[in-house]
Amino acid sequence: KAGVTQTPRYLIKTRGQQVTLSCSPISGHRSVSWYQQTPGQGLQFLFEYFSETQRNKGNFPGRFSGRQFSNSRSEMNVSTLELGDSALYLCASSLDGRGKETQYFGPGTRLLVL
Amino acid sequence: AQTVTQSQPEMSVQEAETVTLSCTYDTSENNYYLFWYKQPPSRQMILVIRQEAYKQQNATENRFSVNFQKAAKSFSLKISDSQLGDTAMYFCAFSFNFGNEKLTFGTGTRLTIIP
The answer to whether B99 contacts A99, with C-beta atoms less than 8 Å apart, is yes
Could you tell me if A81 and A17 are in contact, meaning their C-beta atoms sit under 8 angstroms apart? yes
Per-residue pLDDT tens for B60-89? 999 999 999 999 999 999 999 999 999 999
Best mutation target, A41, A43, A94, A111, to test chain B (most B CBs within 10 A): A43
Of B35, B42, B99, the CB nearest to A97: B99
Element containing residue B64 per DSSP (H, E):
strand B64-69
> What percentage of chain B has pLDDT greater than the value 70?
96
| pLDDT at B97 (0 to 100) | 65
- What are the strands, taking DSSP E only, across chain A? 5-7, 10-13, 19-24, 31-38, 42-50, 53-57, 64-68, 74-78, 87-94, 104-105, 109-113
Return the amino acid letter for B48. V
Mean pLDDT of chain B: 92
Among chain A residues, CA nearest to B108: A42
The residues of chain A scoring below 50 in pLDDT are: none
Could you give the number of structural domains in chain B? 1
- Domain ranges, residue B105: 3-114
Return the amino acid letter for B43. R
Q: Is A4 on the interface with B (CB under 8 A)?
A: no
| pLDDT at B51 (0 to 100) | 93
Closest CA to A47 of A78, A19, A18: A78
Please tell me the distance from the alpha carbon of residue B3 to that of residue B106, in angstroms, as a whole number. Answer: 8
The answer to whether B43 contacts A108, with C-beta atoms less than 8 Å apart, is yes
| pLDDT at A90 (0 to 100) | 97
- Going by pLDDT thresholds of 50, 70 and 90, the confidence category of residue B98 is low
Mean pLDDT of all residues in B107-115: 97
| pLDDT at B100 (0 to 100) | 60
The strand pair at B10-14 and B109-114 is best described as: parallel
Kindly report the CATH number assigned to the domain that includes residue B94.
2.60.40.10
Minimum distance, in Å, between the CA of residue A48 and any CA atom of chain B = 7
Q: Is A66 on the interface with B (CB under 8 A)?
A: no
- Going by pLDDT thresholds of 50, 70 and 90, the confidence category of residue B101 is low
| pLDDT at B17 (0 to 100) | 97
The answer to whether B46 contacts A55, with C-beta atoms less than 8 Å apart, is no
